[in-house]
């Protein structure tokens, strides 16, 4: 397994990876930090996000960090980060393919993002996830992120499968 900085990730590699996840728990408010609030069991369902087409396009000004974790020629995971206006790095996307979860790939990707942010003199890393992605929330807490806020309306217009999700904003201070 190796992690490398890349300019883009091929559409085929993204299509062959399984970034879906099963929702069995959901975080419930109040979302006043610093950690994950309570969770409740929900009817199990699978969630899959569409592939971000920008991952397959080279970044013209090289301001972004795009990392690919590969197992031979298979894509095991990726992370996309950009510098934000407020002195933070923004983790715009992070995903680990199902067969590779629990193997430390998410931590290794995040370690690289932290090193990148520090090298750019950014003071924090910010990311957003949903209240329905409890495994991701727990990973961020274990890594040292604190819950900075929430937005219960961010997904309200996107359809029934996500309209009840609450956006959770996590921060890691460097």
| Segment 127-144, tens digit of pLDDT | 999 999 999 999 999 999
Model confidence at 161, pLDDT cuts 50, 70, 90, reads low
Q: Has residue 113 got a pLDDT over 80? A: yes
CA distance 13 to 58: 15
pTM, full prediction? 0.94
Q: Could you give the domains of the chain?
A: 2-48+60-173 (3.40.630.30)
Q: Has residue 108 got a pLDDT over 70? A: yes
Per-residue pLDDT tens for 41-97?
999 999 988 888 889 988 777 899 999 999 999 999 999 999 999 999 999 999 999
What pLDDT score was predicted for residue 51?
81
CA torsion angle 135 138 139 142 (round to 10): -160
CA torsion angle 130 23 95 20 (round to 10): -130
What pLDDT score was predicted for residue 5?
97
Residues 169, 147 contacting (CB under 8 angstroms): yes
């Amino acid at each position: 397994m190796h992690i490398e900085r890349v300019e883009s990730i091929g559409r085929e590699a993204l299509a062959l990876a399984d970034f879906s996840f099963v929702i069995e728990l959901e975080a419930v408010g109040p979302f006043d930090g610093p950690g994950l609030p309570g969770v409740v069991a929900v009817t199990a369902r699978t969630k899959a996000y569409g592939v971000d087409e920008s991952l397959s396009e080279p970044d013209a000004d090289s301001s972004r960090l795009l990392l690919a974790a590969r197992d031979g020629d298979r894509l095991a995971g990726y992370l996309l980060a950009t510098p934000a206006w407020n002195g933070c790095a923004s983790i715009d996307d992070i995903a680990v393919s199902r067969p590779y979860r629990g193997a430390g790939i998410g931590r290794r990707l995040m370690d690289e993002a932290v090193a990148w942010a520090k090298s750019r003199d950014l003071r924090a890393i910010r990311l957003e996830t949903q209240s329905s992605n409890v495994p991701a929330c727990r990973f961020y807490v274990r890594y040292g992120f604190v819950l900075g806020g929430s937005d219960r309306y961010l997904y309200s217009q996107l359809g029934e499968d996500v309209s009840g999700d609450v956006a959770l904003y996590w921060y890691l201070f460097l």
